Structure 1
Amino acid sequence: MRTVQHPAVEGRPLRTGVLMPARDLAVAWSLIALIAVLAWLFTVGQALDMGVEPGTMGMALPLFLLLWVAMMAAMMLPSVAPVAVTWAKGIARQSTGAVRAVRTTGFLGGYLLVWGAFGLLAYGGLALTGHLVDDHPDAGHWIGAAAYALAGLYQLGPLKYVCLRHCRSPMAQLMHYAGYRPPLRDLRVGLHHGAYCLGCCWALMLALVPLGVMNVAAMAGLAVLIFLEKLWRYGPQLARVAGIAFLALAVVSLFQGWPLPGLQPSGDMGM
């Protein structure tokens, strides 16, 4: 049987040289891929029915949070998969396949719980912007410019790169996680990593305010950007390029409507 090497994570410092069957890796990757695909199918199906509109589009908070978590799973799991799989490799030595699947799910559950909590803030912000645009249509330009500007400035700021370095170094993370103890160890690991991921990517989600929360093209574009930032060799440089692009969009949004599909009525795109 073909094997790969992995670090030990069961309450000890990481070390190399422990063999793990390749099929164990396949189980972890398959689980994450299945969740991500199902999340994309659900999100796209909902988006096609709802369209791109300002605010919360009439959704109550529970429905919004359900859709938000599905969106985050679709957008974020491809980039978090290497960390989750590395964690699964670490727990494989002393676990059965079923236990590994449960523990990997616990990690992903903790990760998505962080983004679900952020969804509460997102709902409040979208509700506010929706009311402002309804009452003052021209406010969309200022809201969009502010969202792009904040996203751009954060992309260029130091905190972004503290969190991005953490997300780009899964082995260093797992050396810290190795000291975690039950109960709910895997959930806590997911929460911890999710907090760093939130610190890395929350400002990018601000772009969904002017672009539209249910804008599938925008979601896909941001998902690709996040994936490349975390996994590509030139990810940090790409993050800076994206920051400059957001700042440029902030300026353009003050005078043009095309960067603001999520902040104006359908068909009113050419201001």
Structure 2
Amino acid sequence: MSYFAPRHTLRNVLWIGFFAAILAAWAVMYAMSRQAGVDLLGRPAEGMGAMMGPAPFDVLLGMWAVMMAAMMLPTMVPTLRAYEDLIYAMNATWGGWIGVLAGYMLAWIGFAVLITGGQFALLGAGLIDGMGRATSLWVTGALLSLVGLFQFSRTKAICHGVCHAPMTHFLGHWRPGIWGGIRMGGTLGLYCCGCCWGYMVLGFTGGVMNLLWMGLATFFMVLEKLPQVGHYLMRPIGSALLAGGMTSMVLATGLLS
């Protein structure tokens, strides 16, 4: 069969569309940051910080949903590659491939709803400002320490184990067709939320429109998903976050000033 047979043409279209969606999501986030008047570090233009208030819930939810696509779609490459292998080895289909992708993103959109609500709760408590930035070094230190400790937890290990080995999950919970793909993708997405929620919460340390944080978080989440190195990175990352948290708290005391 020629490489340009219909099956391979569909494969190429789907993968090109997938990567185009990632680029589009990042482009939208950049446009949103420019519209909000912030730089790549999420800092508002001079004189604007005090005037900027929180966006409405639906606007924030839309921002988080796009952010989930920009940050989490790149981490899906090993999962989608694993499912693609089953197209040639089992009764998997490209419709199921689309279903896995859709189910995964549905889980993260659900997480976007939760973290949007969390942002309003933190704002109401005075722990973050209207730009989603921690209002004190104590808050920054607490968030860094919380996520750092989570890297050593049993929950992190379990969730990462599933995300890290999508083929094992597919073979153990196989469901054919597009609806089966949605179900398996949704389950994987929930495990991924359990594994990576901390990276999202860290956005509140420097502002949720901080594109540098988004890029670094995406980079580390992609590394954690790589079969060759993922298991070896969780604890070093956790140690670095704990060190950052303790440093922030020491600075908050003013002992080093």
Scaled to the shorter chain, the TM-score interval is 0.7 to 0.9
**2:16 counterpart residue number:** 30
Q: 1:48 aligns with which of 6, 9, 34?
A: 34
1:108 aligns with 2:101: yes
Structure 1 gaps, min length 5: 4-19, 258-270
Shift in alpha-carbon separation, 1:86–1:234, aligned structure 2, 3 A: closer
Q: Percent identity?
A: 28
SS at match of 1:110: helix
Residues 28 and 85 in structure 1, CA contact (< 8 A), matched pair in contact too:
no
SS at match of 2:161: helix
Superposition deviation, residue 254 in structure 1: 2.1
Superposition deviation, residue 34 in structure 1: 1.5
Superposition deviation, residue 87 in structure 1: 2.1
Aligned residues: 235
Superposed, 1:1-271 pairs within 5 Å as: 1=1, 23=9, 25-50=11-36, 51=38, 52=42, 58-91=54-87, 100=94, 103-131=96-124, 132-133=126-127, 140-178=136-174, 180=175, 184-231=179-226, 233-256=228-251
TM-score of the aligned structures, taking structure 2 as reference length:
0.79
Inter-partner Cα distance in structure 2 for 1:156 and 1:85: 28
TM-score of the aligned structures, taking structure 1 as reference length:
0.75
Superposition deviation, residue 187 in structure 1: 1.6
Residues 96 and 178 in structure 2, CA contact (< 8 A), matched pair in contact too:
no
Task: Indicate the RMSD between aligned Cα atoms, in angstroms.
Answer: 3.1
Deviations for 1:80-112, whole angstroms, at most 9, x for unmatched residues?
1221233244346778xxx82x54333222211
Inter-partner Cα distance in structure 1 for 2:128 and 2:233: 36
Shift in alpha-carbon separation, 1:145–1:113, aligned structure 2, 3 A: same
Residues 149 and 242 in structure 2, CA contact (< 8 A), matched pair in contact too:
yes
Runs of 4+ in 1 over 6 A off after TM superposition: 92-95
Deviations for 1:205-258, whole angstroms, at most 9, x for unmatched residues?
12111121110000000000000011152222222111111111111222448x
Inter-partner Cα distance in structure 2 for 1:21 and 1:183: 17
**1:260 counterpart residue number:** none
Shift in alpha-carbon separation, 1:124–1:234, aligned structure 2, 3 A: same
Residues 159 and 195 in structure 2, CA contact (< 8 A), matched pair in contact too:
yes
Inter-partner Cα distance in structure 2 for 1:227 and 1:202: 14
**2:46 counterpart residue number:** none
Superposition deviation, residue 67 in structure 1: 1.6
Superposition deviation, residue 193 in structure 1: 0.7
Structure 2 gaps, min length 5: 44-48
